[in-house]
Chains A and B, each alone.
Chain A
């Protein structure tokens, strides 16, 4: 290999390194920006104890968390996540598909010829009703 070719390859490597450094800087800026956004949203906190924040993220979901439901979630997963009896959603939404609860919301919306958004709203309302009822019955029992 001639010295000239080596010099040429080295020049290309140098250009690639400069381009990569620019990409690296850009990605780092984006990372910091995203991190700051999570801190502003109080999802990451530098003052509160890290553990308390983590424990909060692991507690059973409540009525205020129904917004976390997404079309890719399955009924089985939603039942586990919100601690809902396995047949509650089947009954309240009159689901006839035999593969319930191993069925995603978007999959069922297609089967039921409903829009995914409408399906999502129905599931959220149904869970809201169930969770509100269980919360009030728990509160009554505690008061007694």
Chain B
């Protein structure tokens, strides 16, 4: 991860908020940058007086939300054509997934914000299954405020020793991603079980 993170950190030190915006925005779209670890470092830079904590937070929230909206917009506009071309609408699992995602849209959008790369997949899926725009926007924004705030605050708190906490942060993101996926699958399973028993 260092091979990817080190040039990013150099760019953050050189171009500050523009670099933060670029990394968070492209990371939110699909590129698996270590954006959370970068935000941990940015929090530490803020504690050392090199960068502003609040401007970094605003930039990260805006970039993350715009990135998520880009995914959502792309799949919302081109989703139908792709679904028809590849006949995905005939795949039973997709039909089931669509039903579940629309029923649980708010919870799914909010919880997947904390699940790293899973959030990009959730954005595309939300567009495909046509989750209402305002539902997506509000729950996305809410999750996007909490997530960078947590990473920046931790970086700010641990200061000069932020790099010692980067593994811990990556593991936390992994635990949250697995837990969120487990939670979504458990809800899906419970609902299907209920319908199955009714039949």
Contacts and interface: CB of A to CB of B under 8 A. Distances in A.
A6 B195 contact: yes
A57 B174 CA distance: 27
A107 B143 CA distance: 37
Interface string B1-42: 000001101100110000000000000000000000000000
Interface stretch (B58-66, B73-81, B106-114, B186-194): B186-194
24 contacts: A3-B196, A3-B199, A5-B92, A6-B195, A9-B92, A9-B93, A9-B192, A17-B189, A20-B181, A20-B185, A27-B175, A31-B172, A38-B164, A38-B168, A41-B164, A54-B158, A57-B159, A58-B159, A68-B160, A72-B9, A72-B13, A80-B49, A81-B50, A104-B14
Given A10-B189, A13-B185, A74 B10 contact: yes
Interface in A52-101: 54, 57-58, 61, 65, 68, 70-74, 76-77, 80-81
Contacts of B189: 10, 13-14, 17
Interface in A7-38: 7, 9-10, 13-14, 16-17, 20-21, 23-24, 27-28, 30-31, 34-35, 38
A21 B182 contact: yes
A107 B13 CA distance: 13
Contacts, number: 104
Contacts of A7: 196
B6 A72 contact: yes
A77 B196 contact: no
Interface of B: 6-7, 9-10, 13-14, 45, 47-50, 92-93, 95-96, 157-161, 164-165, 167-168, 171-172, 174-175, 178-179, 181-182, 185-186, 188-189, 192-193, 195-196, 199
Which one of B47, B161, B172 has the greatest number of beta carbons of chain A within 10 Å?
B161
A67 to B, nearest CB: 11
A74 B85 CA distance: 50
A100 B58 CA distance: 29
Given A10-B196, A27-B171, A31-B172, 17 more contacts: A5-B92, A9-B93, A9-B96, A9-B192, A17-B185, A20-B182, A24-B179, A31-B171, A38-B165, A43-B161, A57-B47, A57-B157, A57-B158, A65-B160, A72-B9, A102-B14, A106-B10
A5 B14 CA distance: 56
Contacts of A17: 182, 185-186, 189
B182 A10 contact: no
Contact of A6 (B50, B167, B175, B196): B196
Contacts of A3: 196, 199
Which one of B95, B189, B193 has the greatest number of beta carbons of chain A within 10 Å?
B189
Given A35-B168, A71-B6, A104-B13, A57 B160 contact: yes
A54 B186 contact: no
A73 B14 CA distance: 9
A143 interface: no
A5 B93 CA distance: 9
A81 B44 CA distance: 11
A139 interface: no
